[in-house]
Amino acid sequence: MIEVVNQEIGFNKVFKDFNETKCRYRVAKGSAGSGKSVNVAMDYILKLSDPYYKGANLLVLRKTEDTNRDSTFAELEAAIIKIFGASYYQNIWLIRRNPLMMECRTTGSRIIFRGMYDERQREKIKSITVKVGKLVWIWLEEATEFEESDIDILDDRLRGDLNEINPNLYYQMTFTFNPVSASHWIKAKFFDVEDEDYFTHHSTYLDNRFIDDAYHKRMMRRKERDPDGYRVYGLGDWGELGGLILTNGEIKNFNITPDNFDSMTIGQDFGYNHADAILTLGFKDGDVYVCNEIYVYEKDTSEIISLAEGKLDKNLIMWCDSAEPDRIQMWKRAGYYRAQGVTKTPFQQAKPMAGANKKSYINSQIDWLKQRKIYIHPSCINTIKEIQQWKWKKDKETNQYIDEPVDIFDDAMAALRYGCTSQMQQRTSILEVL
C-alpha cells in the first residue's frame, strides 16, 4: 500500500468509472474547468506510486514538447505534493526539470514527457526506454492538437506480454481535451462508433465541486456574450468554432533574450474580475513573438507589480489601456518609467479618422496582426488558449459572423494588440511620408 499523507485527496465523483476502466482507450471530452486534467494527474500519481502497479511507466504528451512544462508537468507535480504533502513528497518522488522527468522512488515507475511536433520528436518516441518494467500508459493532453497518424505511432509502443512483469498491468491510452470541431477525427474515431476497447467520458465545469464562484460567474458572462463558445468551452459539446480572428499564430520554442529581436515591448490589459494580462513581445523581420506572459485574476495593481518583479524588463515601453491612468502611474512609480496609455485611433490611416470608434480601432489592429506571423512561446499557455478561441461575433438574426470581436476571454489578445502599438505607429509614420 502507498503511504498517503493527505487522506482527503478529493476526486470528483463524475470521474469514478473513468479512473477504474481498463479499456485500451479512455477518452475524456469536457469543458474548460471540468477538472479532467487534474483528475488524470491525480489518478496516475496514485497508480504509479502503488506497488500493485509496479513496473508501470507513463508517457505524457503535448503536440509541442515544451508546452508540457507549464501544463502536464505542473499538474502532475501538484498532484504529487497534494497526495504526499509538501514536506514529505521528495521521499517518494524524484522530480527533474531539465529534462522533464519524474520517478517514484518506491516503485521505480517513471513519467516521461515528449512532443510530436515534427519528425525528430516522433523518432524520439520510438526510442524511449525505461529502467524498470515497461511503458504501459500514455496520456495525450489537448488531444485535438494531434493528428490521427500520431496515434498510430503511439499505439505501436503498447505491445508485448505483461504477465511476466506484473499481471496487474494493462495497456492504456488516455485522451483529454476541450472539443472544438464536430468534424475532428477524434469524434469519428472514438465517439461515432461503439467498441469494447473505447471508454468515452463527458464532463463540464458544473461537475467540478472545486470550481469557485468567480470562475462560475466568468462562465455565465461567456454564456451571455458568446453562446456558441459557451456550448463548447462551458458545456463541453461538440461544435464548430468558426470565425476565428487570428489563424496565423504558431506555438514555437524560441530564444527569448533581447539579442534575438530587432525590438521589444510590453503590452498590458488591466483587469481584476477578468484577467490582467501582460505580454512581453519581440519583433523580428516583421513578425511578432510572444515571449512571456503574466495572466492573473482578482489581484490589485500592487500585487501584480510584485509578481512582475524580475519577469519584466523595466527599460521597455509598456503599452497599457489608456482608460486607467491611475494604474499606469502606479507602474511608473514602480520603475516602469516608459509605461503609457495607447491612443485608440485606427492605424491603417496616415492620420486619425474623424469620429474613430473602438470598433474601427480594434479592427485596424487586427488587420495589422493578420499580415504577419505570430509566434507564441510554449510557456504562454493563456495566450495560446485565447488565440485559439478568439472569434468574431454572430449576428443574432442572420447567424452570420460580423466584423466585431467577441469581447470576453480576450485579455491576452488585448495585451497583444496594445503591445504592438510602437510597430503600428512606425507604419503610420511611413504612410505620412508617402
Condensed to tens digits (0 to 9), the pLDDT of residues 143-175 reads 998 989 999 999 999 999 999 999 999 999 999
pTM over cut 0.85: no
Is the Cβ–Cβ distance between 181 and 241 less than 8 Å?
yes
Where residue 351 falls among pLDDT bands split at 50, 70, 90? very low
Instruction: Give kind and range of the element (H or E) at residue 61.
Output: strand 56-61
Q: Is 387 exposed, middle or buried (0-12, 13-18, 19+ CB in 10 A)?
A: buried
What tens digit of pLDDT does each residue of 51-76 get? 999 999 999 999 888 889 989 999 99
Domain ranges of the chain: 13-213, 249-433
Burial class (CB in 10 A: 0-12, 13-18, 19+), 310: exposed
Q: Do 13-213 and 249-433 fold alike per CATH?
A: no
Residue with cell 463548447: 232
All cell numbers assigned to 245: 480572428
Residues with Cβ within 8 Å of residue 305, at least 6 apart in sequence: 330, 331, 334
Report whether CATH 3.30.300.30 matches the domain 13-213: no
Show the CA angle centred on residue 240, arms to residues 234 and 242, nearest 5°: 105
Confidence band for 229, pLDDT divided at 50, 70 and 90? confident
As a whole number of angstroms, the distance between CA 407 and CA 247 comes to 18
Question: From CA 344, how far away is CA 355, in angstroms rounded?
Answer: 11
| Dist CA 102 CA 73 (whole Å) | 9
Which three three-digit cell numbers place residue 312? Answer: 519584466
Q: Strand, helix or coil at 40? A: helix
> CB count, 10 Å around CB of 122?
16
End-to-end CA distance of the chain: 76
Contacts of 124 (CB under 8 A, 6+ apart): 114
Instruction: Give dist(CA 353, CA 335) in Å, integer.
Output: 34
For residues 50 and 32, give the distance between their C-alpha atoms in angstroms, rounded to a whole number: 30
Which CATH code is given to the segment(s) 249-433?
Answer: 3.30.420.280
Give the C-alpha separation, 3 to 110, whole Å. 18
pLDDT band for position 357 (cuts 50, 70, 90): low
**Stretch 374-399: mean pLDDT, rounded?**
89
CA distance 249 to 412: 13
The model's pLDDT over 294-350, given as tens digits with 9 standing for 90+, comes to 999 999 999 999 999 999 999 999 999 999 999 999 999 999 999 999 987 665 443
Residue in 299, 296, 266, 301 with CA at minimum distance from that of residue 283: 266
30: left (phi over 0), alpha (psi -120 to 50) or beta: beta
CB 198 within 8 A of CB 27: yes
Comparison of pLDDT for 102 and 354, the residue scoring more: 102
Q: What is the CA radius of gyration of the chain?
A: 23
